Amino acid sequence: MASSLDRLKALTNRLEDKVEQKHRDSDTLPKIKNSGIDNYIIYPQKIEMTSDSIQEENIKRILELYNKLNIFEKSPDFDKIFDYKAMNLSGIGLKNDDFGQVRKGKYIQVIAITYEADKYGKKKAKNISLGYFGKAETIDYELKKEIIEFVLRWRYEKAFQNLKHYKDLIIQIETIEDINCL
């Protein structure tokens, strides 16, 4: 569990670094002069990114990929894809040591994981295929990137949702009147 959390934190840091770099690059772009009159290229102002705006952009991109990858065929309600407990990718590595590498002889699928009670009431993990993309060796490079991006962005959104849950719990601590209820 700790290694998954560490990977998610590392991914979050990399995404935030890329956003910051993009803003730094736009702040340092050159000005141009034309025929003695100063003309300047106008760039959008640097926008301070908050976790809310990052989350909003992330959800927009997830929705784009959800439609582009036809995930809606297996999970028609976009909002319900976040009800899954986890999401994995078969056929492509997501660990640091094999990130983005296809696994020869394997098939690429986006797998959602949910927990359902069996006939004895015990919770069992259930895998649900949200998308099947064929043999790993034959996949188009751009499609592979989009599949990886979808899974990672979904995980990023789940982290935001968990963060919101814990922020709400912290706020509730302030409203507790009787210290014995802790």
Q: What is the pLDDT of residue 32?
A: 42
| Whole-structure pTM value | 0.66
DSSP at 121:
S
- Specify the 3-state DSSP secondary structure of 94: coil
86-124: burial string, b at 16+ Cβ within 10 Å, e else: ebebbbbebeeeeeeebeeeeebbbbbeeeeeeeeeeee
* Mean per-residue pLDDT, 78-106: 91
Instruction: Report pLDDT for 53.
Output: 83
Among the ranges 19-23, 53-57, 84-88, 160-164, which has the highest mean pLDDT value?
A: 84-88
Checking if the pLDDT of 145 tops 60, the result is yes
153 touches 62 (CB < 8 A): yes
More confident residue, 49 or 98: 98
pLDDT band at 117 (very low <50, low <70, confident <90, very high): confident
Q: Give the model confidence (pLDDT) of 26-48 as tens digits.
A: 555 444 444 444 444 444 555 55
Distances in Å between the alpha carbon of 37 and those of 31, 40, 43, 54, 96? 12, 10, 19, 39, 52
Tell me how far apart the alpha carbons of residues 23 and 19 are, in angstroms, rounded to a whole number.
6
Under the banding of pLDDT at 50, 70 and 90, the label for residue 163 is: confident
More confident residue, 47 or 164: 164
pLDDT of residue 48: 59
Q: Which amino acid is at 28?
A: T
User: pLDDT of 54-65, one tens digit each?
Assistant: 889 999 999 999
pLDDT in the model for residue 4: 63
> What's residue 107's pLDDT?
94
